[in-house]
């Protein structure tokens, strides 16, 4: 089996599970394009902890970690199984790489994991784990976290960083954007800059995009939604392919990338 690419997905608002959009269409096709992995490990912007923490329960619950959305969204569940044995393996690999990793048998799937997975693999029959990010650690730390996970790709584990290429909710709420509003220039400039530097394999610049790219802080006033990108980069290697490009609500770039695509024919779902 060739190594799976690692993925970075922009998961957008939780309502992507309900509302038609180009990004929703892309995610609905992505599972078929990638094929069926043995298991899925998601590094979500919404799983934040002080040390690397892996979900280790057998039947993780669905977490509705949002407010103000239609009732239908709160009735949705994603009953994928966990995999305690794989969780122990992930923890061991991280510990061997110098990370103070632990398991959490009680934590469920946040919307950064279950919303895109519900579109990609609606049968919820593939084991899923989540791994936390840390707001106290650097982009390089998250990149090294991904490097420690990279061998899992050879074993049929799909590694997904789930965040957002741009993420300024205050701008979304104050700007009067509709779901199909065109992106402002400050969003486009940042997304294009990141894309160019990923294609040029300029890892250092991408890791410091919030400081170096045009309008970096405007697009990421906090780091949570870009940190999963760095984990996906570390897990997949320097070669990147953009597999989706769109925006929702004007200020949310929904770009997706596959890393490690030279080793596999998978990962090409442009739209």
Q: Which of 59, 31, 58, 62 is nearest to 46 (CA)?
A: 62
pLDDT above 50: residue 263: no
Looking at residue 105, the DSSP 8-state letter turns out to be T
The angle formed by the CA atoms of residues 25, 243 and 40, to the nearest 5 degrees, is: 80
Write down the pLDDT at residue 12: 93
Q: Which of 134, 43, 152 is nearest to 89 (CA)?
A: 152
SS3 content of the chain, % helix, strand, coil (to 5): 40, 20, 40
- For residues 81 and 191, give the distance between their C-alpha atoms in angstroms, rounded to a whole number: 35
- For residues 53 and 91, give the distance between their C-alpha atoms in angstroms, rounded to a whole number: 8
Quote the tokens at residue 168. Answer: 């300024």
> According to the CATH classification, is domain 6-263 in 3.40.830.10?
yes
- What percentage of the chain reaches a pLDDT higher than 70? 96
Write down the pLDDT at residue 265: 40
The per-residue pLDDT for range 217-243, each reduced to its tens digit, is 999 999 999 999 999 999 998 799 999
Q: For the whole model, what pTM was predicted?
A: 0.96
Burial of 140 (0-12, 13-18, 19+ CB in 10 A): middle
* Domain residue extents for the chain: 6-263
Averaged over 121-140, what is the pLDDT? 98
Higher pLDDT, 261 or 23: 23
Beta-bridge mates of residue 102: 53
As a three-state string, the secondary structure of 221-255 is: CCCCCCHHHHHHHHHHCCCEEEEECCEECCCEECC
Tally of CB atoms within 10 A around 10: 32
The per-residue pLDDT for range 35-65, each reduced to its tens digit, is 999 999 999 999 999 999 999 999 999 999 9
């Amino acid at each position: 089996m060739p190594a799976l690419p690692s993925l970075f997905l922009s998961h957008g608002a939780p309502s992507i599970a309900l509302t038609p959009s180009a990004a929703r269409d892309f995610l609905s096709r992505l599972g078929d394009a990638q094929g069926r992995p043995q298991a899925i490990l998601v590094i979500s912007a919404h799983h934040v902890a002080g040390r690397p923490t892996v979900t280790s329960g057998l039947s993780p619950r669905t977490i509705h970690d949002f407010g103000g959305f239609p009732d239908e969204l709160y009735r949705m569940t994603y009953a994928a199984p966990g995999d305690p044995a794989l969780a122990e393996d992930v923890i061991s690999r991280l510990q061997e790489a110098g990370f103070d990793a632990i398991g959490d048998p009680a934590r469920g799937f946040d919307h950064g994991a279950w919303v895109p997975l519900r579109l990609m693999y609606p049968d919820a029959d593939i084991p899923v784990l989540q791994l936390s990010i840390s707001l106290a650690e650097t982009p390089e730390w998250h990149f090294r976290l991904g490097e420690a996970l990279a061998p899992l790709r050879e074993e049929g584990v799909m590694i997904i960083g789930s965040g957002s290429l741009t993420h300024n909710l205050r701008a979304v709420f104050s700007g009067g954007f509709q779901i199909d509003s065109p992106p402002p220039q400050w969003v486009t400039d940042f997304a294009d800059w990141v894309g160019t530097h990923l294609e040029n394999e300029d890892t250092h610049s991408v890791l410091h995009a919030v400081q170096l790219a045009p309008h970096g802080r405007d697009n990421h006033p906090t780091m949570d939604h870009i940190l999963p990108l760095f984990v996906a980069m570390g897990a997949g290697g320097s070669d990147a392919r953009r597999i989706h490009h769109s925006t929702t609500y004007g200020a949310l770039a929904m770009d997706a990338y596959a890393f490690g695509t030279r080793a596999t024919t998978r990962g090409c779902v442009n739209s």
